[in-house]
Amino acid sequence: MRLSKCHEAKGEMALLEWFLLLGFSAATILVHGQPGDTMTPTKSIVDGQILISSDGTFELGFFSPGDPNNRYLGIHYRGTPDKTVAWVANRISPLNGSMGVLNLTGDGNLVLLNSTGYVFWSTGTSNAINPVVKLLDSGNLVLIEGTSKNLLWQSFDHPSDTLLPGMKLERDLRTNVDRHLTSWKSSSDPSPGDYSYKLHINAVPELFLWRGSVQIVYRTGPWNGRGFGGIPEMKKNNMFRFILTGNEYEATYTFEVLDNSILSRLLLNETGTVQRLVRYKSNLAWDFYWWLPKDPCDEYANCGANGVCSTSYSPACDCLRGFTPKSPQNWTMRDNADGCARRIALNCSSDGFFGLEQVKLPDTSNATAHSSKNLEECKDWCLKNCSCSAYAISGGSGCITWTGDLVDIRVFTEGGENLYIRLASSELGHRRDNYGKKKLIVIIISSLAGFLLPVCFIHLLWKKNRKSKQGKTITTHYTESRGNELELPLFDIHTIRTATNNFSDDNKLGEGGFGPVYKGQLDDGEKIAVKRLSKDSVQGIHEFTNEVLVIAKLQHRNLVRLLGCCIEGEERLLVYEYLQNTSLDCFIFDRRRRAFLDWQKRLNIILGVARGLLYLHQDSRLKIIHRDLKASNILLDEELNPKISDFGTARIFKVDQIEENTNRVVGTYGYMSPEYAMGGIFSVKSDVFSFGVLVLEILSGKKNRMINQREARVNLLGRAWRLWTEGRCLEILDKAVGCAYPESKILQCIQVALLCVQEGSEDRPTMAEVVLMLGTESALLPQPQKPGFYIATPLMERNWSSSNKITVTIEGR
């Protein structure tokens, strides 16, 4: 199998030199022996030798992450298959094709030299008596005076891309000390890359992820005494202790691992993702404990000033209460950069506050901390200061108040803090709180409670009994009319309400054309996802019934599993298996999460979707056309296996039926075949076209819309076709895939995708042919013809500009 060019051999001479170098290193080990965990001026470490910490966790030695001619000195986790690197000494000065030697001078300077004596790196220390270098069990390389034990230098003061337990990120405004993480330039180049993770001292310390020196990518939210408020995963647990100390001039952040059987590190990788990684000492594989940023709402100021972001919203951005978009037209186009402005100007004498719960508090650059004030005192202070726009209580700093705009707020389903936002009294619906009125209301309610509660209780019992009978009647009728077709369990509404905490917003996963989707858990512990048909749903009872009838008869590993449904009163609910990794679009269109999809994972997803479609078209008891295959309708399980979902618009065909014509075209712009979008004709070849678009999106990480401002009329299909005709189609591949991929397989997938999106439906292969082509290494494939909709017409430009997360309905011509 031929790998990509970035992994091709460097030439016979380079290979020969490398083998000679290995041989010389091995011979050196035999001469000098292993120095253990300590080094003195009488010893040197040459390429091939290592220092090993006393507990065997870490080693110090030479390595090459990419080009074998570039040698680096670094600290690794010992025994890991991928030589996990924790620290690099000479990250900006590799030893180019020469033997490296690490020496400790008599006066205490640790120096890295090549065979000619050129200094590539040093600690810059001197005037030490009896200096000693030691690799500690923590992974810290320390240089101390042997007599006094004074610390002269330590690697923990010079972090690279990894934060180990006990290592500190530090900011001191008086001495200008700034210890932070810096990403590698690439997975094979440890020199400083584009991203840095720094501690900032504003009103409250926060960590900021930067790209370069001008673009903030992400921030953690203020310190709340347990962790950073924007990382709910930092809640108290038995694995970690997070520690931040400081004052208005300096701050340091570190962490401890409380479980001795576990190793953990914080990594800033080359793509700008901060990863908390853990593994048991008995296991060599690392697991993700959390990663940041993890979704669009983690992107800094994603919704602009005075906007709020939530993954439960659709779209994700909204304005804070009392605010409206500055540029409504831009917000319609999902461009939220301008943010929101107040609807009604403040009046200092009559303003009040609106509480927003479970949020990441705003950027504290324009905030002030009042550590001695409690919640009421904080409110009073903010109310009396006309420039105060919001206040909050944070466990780490007490009262925090903001002036001006509120930037980078997001809502969590769990965790977060409470933020109180200043609004004009008319936005609150009442004047400022009046203690006397509140007291009177309490007295009245208390007086009436003794009389009203028994009456209400009797009324509720009567209503519940009546509703239960009505629900049974409707459910029985539905079962009788559809029972032979459903073969599906029916849930009662009480079970669903209990499982979803009465359809709590905290359990809300998202919303589509059908209505909201909620996460739930049944009494036996099984997690479920519940789709609830809303009264003003774009879809309706027809789509609900259709989805039940279609998917209840389907069983395949690449189709989402329908567990049951509920029809009581006005409620129409579908109960599905819960898939924790949400949908494919949350990975391939996210510039950080896409890094988790290497080539093999992307290929597995393509093959899984292809097998699922083949089952629908040919191998199931029914012949089913999905009609809305797209990235957001591909769900991913815990192992990132794909499952096709959302069968509300699917159609059942007769075995011998070829196509059907409709005057009601349903689907999503960018995925529809030409004959379906323009003429209402759909068939299995309509799904094949959608599959081809999906494959190109998976390979490129781009949506099928205008992707090049200089070529305003070219969409993803147009670019793929142009690169194919010019013999440059590998350029479409997402850079996040890296270099470890077989070129021949990539070319095969692109060719299959282009065959699927050909303009004529008769030219496209069937899914059986697609699965065969993708599964055969040596398959001889036909040359594709021009794609349909490969150049954006004015109509399609307008269509592609809308969000493809929501199923839209258009009328066919």
Shared domain for 718 and 625, answered yes or no, is yes
Per the residue annotation, which of 318, 628, 646, 734 is the catalytic one? 628
CA–chain centroid gap for 63, Å, is: 31
Q: Contact, 174 vs 239, CB < 8 A?
A: no
End-to-end CA separation in angstroms for the chain: 49
Choose the final residue of a domain: 157, 183, 207. 157
CATH of the domain at 597: 1.10.510.10
Choose the final residue of a domain: 529, 560, 577. 577
**Band (286; pLDDT cuts 50, 70, 90):** confident
Is residue 477, in this structure, part of any structural domain at all?
A: yes
Neighbour-count burial of 12, counting CB atoms closer than 10 A to its CB (0-12 exposed, 13-18 middle, 19+ buried):
exposed
Distance, in Å, from the CA atom of 512 to the CA atom of 784, rounded to the nearest integer, reads 35
Select from 507, 809, 806 the least CA-distant residue to 633: 806
**Band (796; pLDDT cuts 50, 70, 90):** very low
Q: Contact, 552 vs 486, CB < 8 A?
A: yes
**Domains in the chain: how many in total?**
5
Pick the more confident residue, 202 or 659: 202
Distance, in Å, from the CA atom of 106 to the CA atom of 63, rounded to the nearest integer, reads 26
Shared domain for 402 and 532, answered yes or no, is no
Shared domain for 660 and 549, answered yes or no, is no
Q: Beta strand 162-163 with 38-39: parallel, antiparallel or unpaired?
A: unpaired
pLDDT digits (tens, 9 = 90+) for 584-643: 998 999 877 888 898 999 999 999 999 999 988 887 767 888 888 999 899 998 889 999
**Band (547; pLDDT cuts 50, 70, 90):** low
pLDDT > 70? residue 93: yes
Q: Beta strand 307-309 with 409-411: parallel, antiparallel or unpaired?
A: parallel
CA-to-CA separations, 146 to 38, 130, 135, 633, in angstroms, rounded: 11, 5, 14, 64
Strand partners, 667: 808
pTM summary value: 0.55
Is residue 448, in this structure, part of any structural domain at all?
A: no
Pick the more confident residue, 483 or 400: 400
Shared domain for 736 and 772, answered yes or no, is yes
pLDDT > 90? residue 536: no
Choose the final residue of a domain: 239, 261, 294. 294
Q: Contact, 372 vs 381, CB < 8 A?
A: no
Q: What is the 3-state secondary structure (H, E, C) of 385-428?
A: CCCEEEEEEECCCEEEEEECCCCCEEECCCCCEEEEEEECHHHH
Contacts of 160 (CB under 8 A, 6+ apart): 87, 88, 91, 181, 182, 184, 190
Is residue 149, in this structure, part of any structural domain at all?
A: yes
Rounded to an integer, the average pLDDT of 18-32 is: 37
Rounded to an integer, the average pLDDT of 718-726 is: 90
Taken in order 717, 722, 725, 729, the sign of the CA dihedral is negative
Shared domain for 213 and 334, answered yes or no, is no
pLDDT > 90? residue 237: no
**Band (289; pLDDT cuts 50, 70, 90):** confident
Is residue 452, in this structure, part of any structural domain at all?
A: no
Is residue 803, in this structure, part of any structural domain at all?
A: yes
Pick the more confident residue, 739 or 523: 523
Rounded to an integer, the average pLDDT of 287-309 is: 89
Shared domain for 593 and 488, answered yes or no, is no
Q: Which two tokens stand for residue 289?
A: 């404990």
Is residue 408, in this structure, part of any structural domain at all?
A: yes
Shared domain for 255 and 185, answered yes or no, is yes
Shared domain for 407 and 478, answered yes or no, is no
Shared domain for 657 and 537, answered yes or no, is no
Distance, in Å, from the CA atom of 95 to the CA atom of 75, rounded to the nearest integer, reads 16
Shared domain for 594 and 637, answered yes or no, is yes
Contacts of 327 (CB under 8 A, 6+ apart): 335, 338
CA–chain centroid gap for 219, Å, is: 14
Shared domain for 257 and 124, answered yes or no, is no
| Residue 9: half-sphere exposure toward Cβ, Cα within 13 Å | 8
**Among 65-69, 520-524, 601-605, 786-790, the least confident range:** 786-790
Q: Contact, 562 vs 618, CB < 8 A?
A: no
What's residue 146's pLDDT? 82
Give the range of the structural domain holding residue 733, as residue numbers without chain letter.
585-811
pLDDT > 50? residue 813: no
Is residue 451, in this structure, part of any structural domain at all?
A: no
CATH of the domain at 518: 3.30.200.20
pLDDT digits (tens, 9 = 90+) for 741-756: 888 899 999 999 999 9
Q: Is 590 a catalytic residue?
A: no
Is residue 7, in this structure, part of any structural domain at all?
A: no
- Determine how many CB atoms are found less than 10 A away from the CB of residue 98: 16
Q: Which two tokens stand for residue 639?
A: 């192992």
What's residue 532's pLDDT? 85
What's residue 804's pLDDT? 36
Rounded to an integer, the average pLDDT of 575-588 is: 88
pLDDT > 50? residue 794: no
Rounded to an integer, the average pLDDT of 498-524 is: 84
Q: Contact, 445 vs 364, CB < 8 A?
A: no
Shared domain for 371 and 272, answered yes or no, is no
Distance, in Å, from the CA atom of 514 to the CA atom of 534, rounded to the nearest integer, reads 7
